[in-house]
Amino acid sequence: MIPIAADGRDFEYHKKGDEYTPKDSINFKLHKICTKKDPKAPVVLNNTHDEEKLYNNSNVYSGDLEYTSQDGQRTYRPIHDDILIAKMRPGQEIEMDLICEKGIGKTHAKWSPVCTAYYRLLPDIKVDKI
């Protein structure tokens, strides 16, 4: 669930079975390969504190998405660049073609604007001196 900086009024709903067009979709690509910074160092699978020191591209973020332009579309990008997509270790690779389409929550929860909202009750406790 990565929010994209796009106005929904600029897009039509995609009809199932039809090809995606610039009027009903936004396309992104992602290709990352995780490698060791020091080829002689051993692979440490459970160490998440030093992963940025040990590996190249160990974390894949929304800022790594590359917009694929379509005819007549302006440039789009994710609203936040720091949303974690995947964690990888040396020898792992991720390659994706992503298609964003307009939808409503009645069809699928992924389009619901409150699907990631939550709340927590916090008590307000005050102690008076006697």
pLDDT of residue 47: 67
Residue 113 lies in a domain: no
Six-digit token string for 128: 């008076």
Question: What is the three-class DSSP state of 109?
Answer: helix
Q: Identify the burial level of 82 via C-beta atoms within 10 angstroms of its C-beta, where 0-12 means exposed, 13-18 middle and 19 or more buried.
A: exposed
pTM of the model: 0.73
CATH code, domain with 23: 2.170.120.12
d(CA 57, CA 66): 15
Residue 33 lies in a domain: yes
In 1-130, which residue ranges form alpha helices assigned H by DSSP?
A: 51-54
Residue 127 lies in a domain: no
Residue 111 lies in a domain: no
Residue 124 lies in a domain: no
Q: Backbone phi, then psi, for 114, in 5-degree steps?
A: -115, 15
* Structural domain for 36, as ranges: 8-104
Residue 92 lies in a domain: yes
pLDDT of residue 105: 80
Six-digit token string for 12: 């039509």
Across the chain, which has 130 residues, the per-10-residue mean pLDDT values are 87 91 92 89 71 87 92 88 91 93 83 68 84
Residue 118 lies in a domain: no
Counting Cα atoms < 13 Å in the Cβ hemisphere of 121 gives 2
Six-digit token string for 62: 């929304």
Residue 16 lies in a domain: yes
Amino acid at 59: N
* Number of domains the chain is built from: 1
pLDDT of residue 115: 53
